[in-house]
Amino acid sequence: MTILFYTTFSDAKIWKKEIKKQFKNEKIVSIDDKKNYKKVKYAIIWNLPDNILKKLTNLKIIFSQGAGVDHILNLPSYKQTPIIRLKDPAMGDRMSNHALSQILNFQLNLKKYSHYQGIKKWVDDIESYAPLENNKLTIGILGVGFLGKHVANSLKKLDYKVIGFKKNKAKKNYGFKIYDNNLNQFISSSDVIISILPSTKETTNFINKKFLSKMKKKSLLINVGRGNTLNEKDLILHLNKQKNFYSSLDVFQNEPLPKSSKLWSHPNVTITPHVASITIVKSAVKQMHLVYQKYKKGKIISDVKLENGY
């Protein structure tokens, strides 16, 4: 079987080597192998240009190199080819660690101490700490898909109180309280909100002025989902009004975040460059190969719901 591999990841060479190793019986081609386009049945991709997708007329299945599939669904030539998103527990662990680091930063006032270190000032104002015990902090998970559940379960093990939000009625037991369709209560109960929302028409600007105004005055918003789900202008206005409100952002409306963005220098904002759930190559390709074997036996169906857009 001929597999096309294309990525804009900076470690593309490492990916290619690993794909060749694990898919050793298959022919791996790149977008430069134009004569092979018609033979391509499989594609492992991240940010494939639309003009290439258009030419892959025999494509049977697409693997997303990440958990998100918006980079495929947004291509004008994309029709109905089944998509398999990457569901790698190692990515979930990575995202849980990222979320935990940001919660602790908030919980233990570390951002403040880092500021004081910069000006060589010893400030031991212990009474201004956020609750020290994990079980006094409620962490709200916005978007309880594969990664959301993984993060929730890791935090639960550390004794945090975890709740989730889901727009439709929860059909299964998540192991933590789900506020289905009760967004206001979800927002106002959370000390920390971790947004792992995908990018869809419905989620664009989901976290806006109204949403932010319902968050606790002293709280933290972590965005590790997609940048367009958060209205950055509304966030800056909110941050300027609420001195105990913090935000940790890994994804942005425009990436790389433009130098002109006010978010860079806001004292209550932490910025990371879309690294919260970096794909771990070996483990990711292994997952893809396992799915590939199942697919060859006719066992796998896509878990991307085209009608929902994620």
In the complex, the smallest distance separating the C-beta of residue 59 from ligand OXD, rounded to whole angstroms, is 20
CB of 239 to ligand OXD, least distance (A): 24
Taking the complex as a whole, the smallest distance from the CB of residue 125 to ligand OXD amounts, in Å, to 37
Cβ at position 65, least distance to ligand OXD in Å: 8
* Shorter beta-carbon distance to ligand OXD: residue 109 or 270: 270
**Which residues neighbour 154 within 8 Å (Cβ) at sequence distance 6 or greater?**
92, 93, 96, 99, 100
Where on the chain is the footprint of ligand OXD (CB under 6 A)? 66-68, 277
Closest approach of Cβ 203 to ligand OXD, in Å?
Answer: 14
Cα distances (Å, whole numbers) of residue 222 to 10, 14, 34, 91, 168: 25, 30, 42, 17, 23
Nearer to ligand OXD, 190 or 277 (CB): 277
Residue number of the CB closest to ligand OXD reads 66
Q: What is the largest CA-CA distance in the chain?
A: 69
Nearer to ligand OXD, 190 or 223 (CB): 223
175 token code pair: 């192991």
Residue 109 to residue 128: CA distance in whole angstroms: 8
Beta-strand ranges (E) seen in the chain are: 2-6, 27-29, 40-45, 61-64, 83-84, 138-142, 161-166, 177-180, 192-195, 219-223, 245-249, 269-271
User: Which residue number, 215 or 230, has a Cβ lying nearer to ligand OXD?
Assistant: 230
Cβ closest to ligand OXD, residue 87 vs residue 177? 87
